[in-house]
Amino acid sequence: MFKVVIVDDEVHIRALLEQTMEELEEEFEFEILTAANGGDGLAAIQREHPRLVFLDVMMPVMNGYDVCAAVRADSSLDETKVVMLTAKGQETDRQRGMSVGVNHFITKPFDPDEIVNLAREILGS
Amino acid sequence: MDPMDFDQNGMARLGLVSFNEEEVSSTNRLRQEIRTLHQAAEITADLVIHQFEKTEAILAKFQATSGQLQAVLDAASQIAIIATDLTGSITLFNRGAEVMLGYLACEVIGRMTPLDLHHIEDFSSSVTLEKLIHLATSEQGAIQEWLYRRKDGQSLPVTVSVTPLLGSNRHHVGFLWVAMDITPLKQAEEQLRRSNVELQRLDKLKSDLLSSVSHELRTPLTSIRGFAQLIRREFDRTFAATPEDDVKRRTKSSRIQDNLDIILTESERLTRLINEVLDLAKIESGRIEWHKVHFSLQEAILQAVNAVQGQFAGLANVALETNLPSSPLMVDADKDRMVQVLVNLLNNAAKFIQAGYVRVSAIRQPDGWVRVEVQDTGCGFPPEQAETIFDKFQQVHRNDTLVDKPQGTGLGLSICREIVLFHGGRIWATSVPGQGSTFSLTLPLLAQSEESDLMAESELLSNHTIHDTPVAPSVNECSEQNTQKSLPLVLVIDDDANVCTYLNLLFLEQGYRVMTARDGQEGLEMARLHHPDLITLDLAMPVLDGRQTMVHLHQDPKLSQIPVIVLSAMPDFDQVGGSVAMSKPIDEQRLLLGMRLLLLGRKQDLGVESMPCLALNEPVPLASNRLPGIIRVGDVVYCDREELLRRVGEGFKGLVTVPTEALHSMDGTFWEQLSSLDVLILPAAQKEEIDYV
């Protein structure tokens, strides 16, 4: 069974992502875990070895870049795909994200369909 | 009687009394001397008096002058005028100097030197008066900015100019120091500097605020938009009324759906607004990252036109047209941003138009610039708003901001202006209210030589233009959709699937039958089998390229009569032969016109009106067979440049053909004059000239 970890300090965004992912429940068997800050998020990722991580950038304890860098430094997490949630047009954010090994970027405010399509692609591959 | 004689007699009488004769003669000599002395004294006295009077007059005159001079010196109370002798000792200290420095003239004259007026710590300890003078006079007419020290110890910023003082005999006798108090100037400068710093701080604060606000707004907006969409979906699936439900329930259900849609469209509008605010803040604060590349403007224009197709699809009575020159207009600019500008202008035009057309034209200017125009037949705007519509949150037709709801964010044109200005261009708008408006912008073109190098590049880019066109069913499936034999058959030979799809759709729309081949070999086989009425040929293709395909077509007597349109982004696209050559990106209008004319040459039944034609036959004289298929179109007049322009000037309406060879020798004026006409560029003559019909 796939694990999906959602790391975002905004409770509503976590709920939105969780509910959005329900769309895929019939296609894939997966379990969703959430974390409200970067530190808890990294711990969850290292414990659960998820297939997919939704990662916010600005968060308490540990920001998204540092979480992703830590994930990429762990070779046992090579299969984990990281989707970063960024603000639109922040080219520097994107470059920084790319440099720490982010796989995909989704800009806020995002379209739930975008999330579904991307998650389907990742879980299906 | 002479008084002397009288005296002489009197003395003589005395002498007679008391002196002997010898004594009398010596007395006479003495008397004579006294008389001489007396006379001399009288003359001297006259002279002295005369001299005194003269001196007095001079003195009086001098006093008057010196009074004027003093008045001048005193009046210059804002300016300190100090004179020194060669040793530096102060010899003159005017009223202005007294006021400015707090010393009385008598305290400084003969007692101080200009060095004493400085804060000594302002100079190195070794500074001497000579060095000071040298410093001040080393540059001719140079003005020094110094800090003087007043008698009370306070500092005074001054500008000082020191000039040598010449005496009456033109000898150097000293120096004149003229100092001006620049305290107000310094204060103003400081104030300006401070307000500048403050402004920069505020500007950064504003940008930071905008940036962080728009960033912060995204999070709640994400929730609003996301949940609205989830609810809409969930509702549609689980709760929405079905036809079996009663009317009341069905009405409520559709009300809920409509309302959710409103939340969605409004949140999208808010997203757009936030993005534009952020864009503008970034551009204005110089923190935007520009990605300059070389591209053809036609490319960007077509991309923009594609992007707004959806919006125009809702405007049944409005035509969206382009009028672009066939040779690429290469620019060095941020392509995405330029597309953004064009999309914005087109969006704008769509908002204010009910019927008519919106036309994008690109016009090469003779001075190495290009002008792009977006012209519409919309409601226009009052001419006095021509400037202000580019300002932030300014929109036309908003007499009452409470009633006339703005369409859009009011930032679009501001962003357009910022982007165009960044690229060194200009943007402006003109309008006739009720008839329409024209938004124009200029951009510098890349030098001509670079253009041809870049044409290969534009082939890659050309895929973008058709990217957004609706995907047709697989090419082969629709190849022979229309099998009515009477309709002209067009064979498209191109290895790019996108181009094939695009041309397929385009030609089907025109009522032609279409077949496609993905390389030259396949194309030749299909041509031999089906005898198409017209072939469009790409050059860079696998297996058999366009150039070789052309040779084979020429050599086959059954195929050599088929008109060929070369469509390629290769730099030498027009050197391969064929009936007509066109560069990619494809200009639809020109392509379709060329096709109609070529097909008309073969079939008279297409219903195309006969069209007069002017054929430029310089620098190479054109034989009639260089106009394949067009010959029977109408009257063809072969003429030189001058004659051609004359006829055009006289209002010629029709087709103008220009041989490839003439492309480089014709200037911008030439093309400008042809801008309203249809122009066909004829490919270069082949070595082995083919006989067309």
Nearest chain B Cα distance for residue A125, angstroms? 25
Which runs of consecutive H residues, i.e. helices, occur in B377-519?
412-422, 448-467, 497-509
Q: Is residue B541 within 8 Å of residue B492, measured between CB atoms?
A: no
| Pick from B279, B298, B416, B289: nearest CA to B346 | B416
Q: Is residue B568 within 8 Å of residue B586, measured between CB atoms?
A: no
Q: Do B218 and A87 touch (CB under 8 A)?
A: yes
Beta-carbon pairs below 8 A across chains A and B: 50
End-to-end CA distance of chain A: 14
Please give the pLDDT value at position B478. Answer: 34
Nearest chain A Cα distance for residue B343, angstroms? 18
Please give the pLDDT value at position B400. Answer: 44
Residues of B in contact with A93 (CB under 8 A): none
Interface confidence, given as ipTM, is: 0.78
Count of residues making up chain A: 125
Please give the pLDDT value at position B303. Answer: 85
- CA distances for B309 relative to B233, B313, B315, B348, angstroms: 27, 6, 10, 13
Please give the pLDDT value at position A18. Answer: 93
- Locate the chain A residue with the closest alpha carbon to B221: A109
Nearest chain A Cα distance for residue B340, angstroms? 14
| Cross-chain CB nearest to A108 (options B219, B267, B278) | B219
Residues of B in contact with A106 (CB under 8 A): none
The rounded distance, in Å, linking the Cα atoms of B349 and B377 is 9
Please give the pLDDT value at position B448. Answer: 60
Residue B297 makes CB contacts below 8 A (sequence gap 6+) with: B324, B328, B329, B330, B331, B338, B362, B370, B372, B443
How many structural domains is chain A composed of? 1
Residue B279 makes CB contacts below 8 A (sequence gap 6+) with: A89, B288, B411, B415
pLDDT beneath 70, residues of chain A = 88-91
- Locate the chain B residue with the closest alpha carbon to A110: B222
- CB interface of B with A, residues 272-311, below 8 Å: 275, 278-279, 282, 289
Please give the pLDDT value at position B235. Answer: 92
| Cross-chain CB nearest to A13 (options B222, B278, B289) | B222
Residues of B in contact with A96 (CB under 8 A): none
Q: Do B223 and A10 touch (CB under 8 A)?
A: yes
Q: Is the dihedral of CA B553, B555, B558, B563 positive or negative?
A: positive
Full domain range(s) for residue A41: 2-124
| Pick from B195, B175, B207: nearest CA to B89 | B175
What B557-561 contacts at long range (C-beta under 8 Å, 24+ apart), as own/partner pairs, is: B558/B528, B558/B531, B559/B524, B559/B527, B559/B528, B559/B531, B560/B690, B560/B691, B561/B692, B561/B693
Please give the pLDDT value at position A56. Answer: 92
Looking up residue A36, the CATH number of its domain turns out to be: 3.40.50.2300
pLDDT beneath 70, residues of chain B = 1-21, 64, 75, 120-127, 135-136, 138-142, 393-409, 448-486, 600-611, 620-636, 684-693
Q: Do B222 and A16 touch (CB under 8 A)?
A: yes
Q: Is residue B97 within 8 Å of residue B126, measured between CB atoms?
A: no
Q: Do A13 and B282 touch (CB under 8 A)?
A: no
Please give the pLDDT value at position B484. Answer: 43
Kind plus residue range of the DSSP H or E element containing B359: strand B356-364
Please give the pLDDT value at position A30. Answer: 94
Place of tokens 């494809």: B586
Which runs of consecutive H residues, i.e. helices, occur in B82-144?
95-101, 105-108, 129-137
Please give the pLDDT value at position B25. Answer: 79
Place of tokens 């809702």: B314
Please give the pLDDT value at position B27. Answer: 81
The rounded distance, in Å, linking the Cα atoms of B183 and B146 is 11
As a whole number of Å, the CA-based R_g of chain A is 13
Please give the pLDDT value at position B94. Answer: 87
Mean pLDDT rounded to a whole number for chain A? 91
Q: Do B226 and A16 touch (CB under 8 A)?
A: yes
Please give the pLDDT value at position B439. Answer: 94
As a whole number of Å, the CA-based R_g of chain B is 49
Place of tokens 């034609």: B613
C-alpha dihedral over B162, B167, B169, B171, to 10 degrees? -50
| Pick from B588, B627, B611, B581: nearest CA to B506 | B588
Please give the pLDDT value at position B611. Answer: 64
| Pick from B146, B167, B163, B164: nearest CA to B155 | B146
- Locate the chain A residue with the closest alpha carbon to B290: A91
Q: Do B275 and A12 touch (CB under 8 A)?
A: no
Residues of B in contact with A10 (CB under 8 A): 219, 223
Q: Is the dihedral of CA B685, B686, B691, B693 positive or negative?
A: negative
